[in-house]
Amino acid sequence: MLKQIIRNLLSGKKTISISQEDIASARAALAGLEELKTEIDSIYSRSIRIRQVDAGSCNACEWECTALTNPVYDVQRFGIDFVASPRHADMLLVTGPVSRQMELALRKTYDATPDPKFVVACGDCAVNGGIYNSSYAVAGGVSKILPVDLVIPGCPPSPQQIITALLAFLKQQHR
């Protein structure tokens, strides 16, 4: 590992170029998100607050959730935001398989969230335990512990997939 790091340092500075296709594809994705903003605003008047719970993930799903609030996706402008306490949340967004160490904490977080509330299983591990499902340290997907209202598959799902799934779900609840 150390040899590899030294080799990389000695081989000079490397930059990654972004193609015009990549830029065009990112712009197209953002244009789609602008349409979602109007729909979320009109339905929920900026009232959706999410408490994210890592129940034992590899952290890649958290990176995608974190990207929701970066300047590219900027999910707050769509009326969706994250909160630090389940007592302020409308929705629990759970990532990772539910490790046995986190099972009780997840139940307590659910109990602390006021009704009405939604539970989202975000990522393959949260949906059904994913690649960790057979581990002795894992209780399984979120639905083994809590009633799940929405599943978002992917390993990990992209920020746009997460937003799109949330919007479709919220629109369905509104009907």
Q: Which stretch binds ligand SF4 (CB under 6 A): 24-32, 71-79, 124-132, 163-171?
A: 124-132
User: Which of 156, 159, 163, 167: binder of ligand SF4 (CB under 6 A)?
Assistant: 156
User: Least CB distance from residue 99 to ligand SF4, whole Å?
Assistant: 11
Q: Which is nearer to ligand SF4, 40 or 93 (CB)?
A: 93
User: Which of 48, 52, 119, 123: binder of ligand SF4 (CB under 6 A)?
Assistant: 123
SS3 of the chain: the string is CHHHHHHHHHCCCCCCCCCHHHHHHHHHHHHHHHHHHHHHHHHHCCCEEEEEEECCCCCHHHHHHHHCCCCCCCHHHHCEEECCCHHHCCEEEEECCEEHHHHHHHHHHHHHCCCCCEEEEECHHHHHCHHHCCCCCEEECHHHCCCCCEEECCCCCCHHHHHHHHHHHHHHHHC
Q: Which stretch binds ligand SF4 (CB under 6 A): 9-17, 29-37, 98-106, 120-128?
A: 120-128
Q: Which is nearer to ligand SF4, 58 or 163 (CB)?
A: 58
Cis ω on the peptide bond leading into residue 157 (within 30° of 0)?
no
Binding flag, residue 131, ligand SF4 (CB under 6 A): yes
Binding flag, residue 125, ligand SF4 (CB under 6 A): yes
Binding flag, residue 57, ligand SF4 (CB under 6 A): yes
Binding flag, residue 113, ligand SF4 (CB under 6 A): no
Integer Cα distance of 70 and 149 in angstroms: 26
User: Least CB distance from residue 5 to ligand SF4, whole Å?
Assistant: 25
Binding site for ligand SF4 (CB under 6 A): 57-58, 60-61, 95-96, 123-125, 130-131, 155-156
